[in-house]
């Protein structure tokens, strides 16, 4: 027997982790068994469980979890590296005849899993540094205009202010002579059609933002500052993905004595709301055909989920 793959996407603080756990336990109660796989780019990193709202020890004891807190922050993972690890985990779970519940808020991860991902050659460090230097010297407008000549699709789709993706698109072209969009057009490795089912949680923005604010305030009293203190003490490259987790920069400034805790919390809450908005916008645009769950109450989510999948039991 091979279990089904269930995908649950949603913005931060939307309740997707609770739904994943409810689904995994329901599937286990029915006799098939289930395991949870992480699809959140920040929950990959060790030492940031509180700040990234990773699963608690109690939750991981209830159901097997994979790819949570397994990567040292010094090792920045790409989408491709996550995809390879996720496919290995999914194959292992299937080999045990169990269901897999993939949950997270990183849209690119779900896109790679369901649509495939191009194998892009490694870009030499010198090319990456040159591209970053060009961006800083030229400014976004001129840099984007140059990119548009080599990769108009990337220049058109990358959001204003997204330095990381603009630089990435140019460095790939500069190093390989082939545009990032052309590489991506050769994507493979997607899950087989019919092997997965998906839902996206799409709560009202105002209510979601209020929950983001409250959850981040609770994180401060639950150890988030200690996590940031330990991370910044390592003096890692600020461009590493883990160093860009929401709250790291803001709370680090407080720990250095540059701002009050109240101001750092307010800044981190503001960035969390912006992050949630970006996630929601991605899902509405790129996951438009995924069934939607509304609201923020976990009980409502479960009732809506059961209505979509009446074969499951409560």
pLDDT digits (tens, 9 = 90+) for 144-159: 999 999 999 999 989 8
One domain for residues 268 and 281: yes
Question: Residue 313 falls within a domain, yes or no?
Answer: no
Determine contact, residues 124/175, Cβ cutoff 8 Å.
yes
One domain for residues 25 and 98: yes
One domain for residues 106 and 215: yes
pLDDT band at 193 (very low <50, low <70, confident <90, very high): confident
Range of the domain at 95: 5-117+188-308
Count CB-CB contacts under 10 A for residue 133: 11
Determine contact, residues 32/46, Cβ cutoff 8 Å.
no
Model confidence pLDDT, tens digit, residues 1-31 = 468 999 999 999 999 999 999 999 999 998 8
One domain for residues 204 and 178: no
Mean pLDDT rounded to a whole number for the chain: 93
Question: Residue 314 falls within a domain, yes or no?
Answer: no
Determine contact, residues 288/202, Cβ cutoff 8 Å.
no
Q: What CATH number is given to the structural domain containing 299?
A: 3.40.50.300
One domain for residues 63 and 85: yes
CA distances from 82 to 41, 211, 238 (A): 8, 28, 21
Domain count, the chain: 2
Question: Residue 220 falls within a domain, yes or no?
Answer: yes
């Amino acid at each position: 027997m091979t279990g089904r793959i269930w995908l649950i996407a949603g913005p931060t603080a939307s309740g997707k982790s609770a739904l994943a756990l409810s689904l995994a336990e329901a599937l286990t109660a029915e006799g098939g068994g289930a395991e949870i796989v992480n699809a959140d780019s920040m929950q990959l990193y060790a030492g940031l469980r509180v700040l990234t709202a990773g699963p608690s020890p109690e939750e991981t004891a209830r159901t097997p979890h994979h790819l949570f807190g397994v990567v040292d922050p010094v090792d920045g993972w790409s989408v491709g590296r996550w995809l390879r690890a996720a496919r290995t985990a999914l194959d292992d779970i299937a080999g045990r005849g169990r269901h897999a519940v993939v949950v997270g808020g990183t849209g690119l991860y779900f896109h790679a899993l369901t649509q495939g991902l191009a194998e892009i050659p490694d870009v030499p460090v010198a090319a990456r540094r040159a591209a970053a230097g060009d961006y800083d010297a030229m400014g976004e407008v001129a840099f984007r205009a140059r990119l548009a000549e080599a990769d108009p699709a990337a220049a058109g789709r990358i959001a204003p202010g997204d330095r990381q993706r603009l630089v990435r698109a140019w460095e790939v072209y500069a190093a390989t002579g082939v545009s990032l969009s052309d590489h991506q057009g050769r994507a493979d490795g997607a899950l087989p059609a019919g092997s997965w089912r998906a839902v996206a949680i799409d709560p009202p923005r105002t209510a979601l933002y209020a929950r983001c604010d409250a959850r981040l305030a609770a994180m401060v009293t639950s150890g988030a500052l200690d996590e940031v203190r330990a991370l910044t003490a390592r003096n890692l490259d600020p461009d590493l993905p883990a160093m860009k987790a929401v709250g790291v920069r803001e709370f680090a400034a407080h720990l250095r004595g540059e701002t009050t805790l109240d101001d750092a919390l307010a800044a981190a809450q503001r960035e969390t709301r912006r992050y949630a908005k970006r996630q929601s916008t991605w899902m509405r645009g790129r996951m438009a055909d995924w069934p939607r769950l509304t609201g923020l109450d976990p009980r409502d989510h479960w009732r809506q989920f059961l209505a979509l999948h009446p074969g499951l039991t409560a």
